[in-house]
Amino acid sequence: MQKLTLIFLIVALSACSLKRVERFKDITYLTASDSLPEKKLNVFKPKKSKDAPVLLFIHGGSWDSGDKEIYNFLGTRFAKKGVVTVIMDYPLSPEYQVQSMALASAQAVNWMHESIEEYGGSKDRIFVSGHSAGGHLASLIAVNNKYFDQLGVSNPIQGAVLIDAAGLDMKWFLEQMNYEPGTSYNIPFTDSPEVWEETSPIYHLDVEDPPLLIMLGGRTLPGNTLTTERFMEAHKSFEPNPKYIFQPRKKHKGMIVQFIYTPNKVYREILKFMGE
């Protein structure tokens, strides 16, 4: 009897919790064209939200894998904390390259700027985030207005949260790795050093960048550590006191898996960053 009562309480509490969030699935933000495929996003909003801060999350997966549905938990948890959260899909390698992924990400942000008020969010409080390859794309569109210029709109991003981001200095990384042409990360980034530089956020930093919150795991991939350290040094030229969270025991996957735990203190840090 006690076991059945406990199960009932858990189910009841879960149901109450779910009622606090509204979900809107598979909204088309990118229509198919000659250069890009149709892509969709999911929106998670707090009940009765109005003018709430908005967060776009871009998934990782080495630029060639990943799916928005994996991260529904993140949308739900941020929405419970008062943030209208958008989880997007984007074109993947090998069919598409990084420039197309960044343009799609900018299009998702533009969709938010045009439509997010319908979901209780504020178009003037848009933030972007991503893990791994998604962190790279979030950083790239935050500091390089090129992709918004291609859409003929202004960059509305108010800040970026980079969660163990990859590729922040992809030019340096690919030069060090010296992959055979057409292999490994050269597929999404091409064999062109000019493209490597163009798609490396480190080379687009300036005083007009939105604020950045940079998170790094102490046991992450060596390439992530090295490129993030290079990025941090360059960022300090424009922001002497960068916002930085170092988690010494976290591995690369652990940096995103930790968000499953709702009371995790990193939520508080991100909400504080967005509030500032």
DSSP H helices, 146-192, are 146-151, 170-177, 186-189
DSSP H helices, 186-248, are 186-189, 193-198, 222-235
The pLDDT value recorded for residue 39 is: 98
Read off the pTM.
0.93
Dist. CA 184–CA 59, nearest whole Å: 19
Q: How confident is the model at residue 15 (pLDDT cuts 50, 70, 90)?
A: very low
The pLDDT value recorded for residue 200 is: 98
Dist. CA 113–CA 122, nearest whole Å: 8
The pLDDT value recorded for residue 14 is: 43
Look up residue 255 and give its two tokens: 């940096």
Mean pLDDT, the chain, as a whole number?
Answer: 94
SS3 content of the chain, % helix, strand, coil (to 5): 45, 25, 30
Dist. CA 154–CA 148, nearest whole Å: 6
pLDDT at 264 over 90: yes
In percent, the amount of the chain with pLDDT more than 90 equals 93
pLDDT digits (tens, 9 = 90+) for 219-236: 999 999 999 999 999 999
Q: Which CATH number fits domain 23-275: 3.40.720.10, 1.10.357.10, 3.40.50.1820, 3.90.1150.10?
A: 3.40.50.1820
pLDDT digits (tens, 9 = 90+) for 154-203: 999 999 999 999 999 999 999 999 999 999 999 999 999 999 999 999 99
Three-state secondary structure call for residue 166 = coil
Dist. CA 157–CA 127, nearest whole Å: 6
Three-state secondary structure call for residue 178 = coil
The pLDDT value recorded for residue 19 is: 57
Three-state secondary structure call for residue 42 = strand
**106, 150 Cβ separation under 8 angstroms:** yes
Mean pLDDT of 56-61: 98
pLDDT digits (tens, 9 = 90+) for 91-146: 999 999 999 999 999 999 999 999 999 999 999 999 999 999 999 999 999 999 99
DSSP H helices, 98-132, are 98-115
The pLDDT value recorded for residue 69 is: 98
Three-state secondary structure call for residue 244 = strand
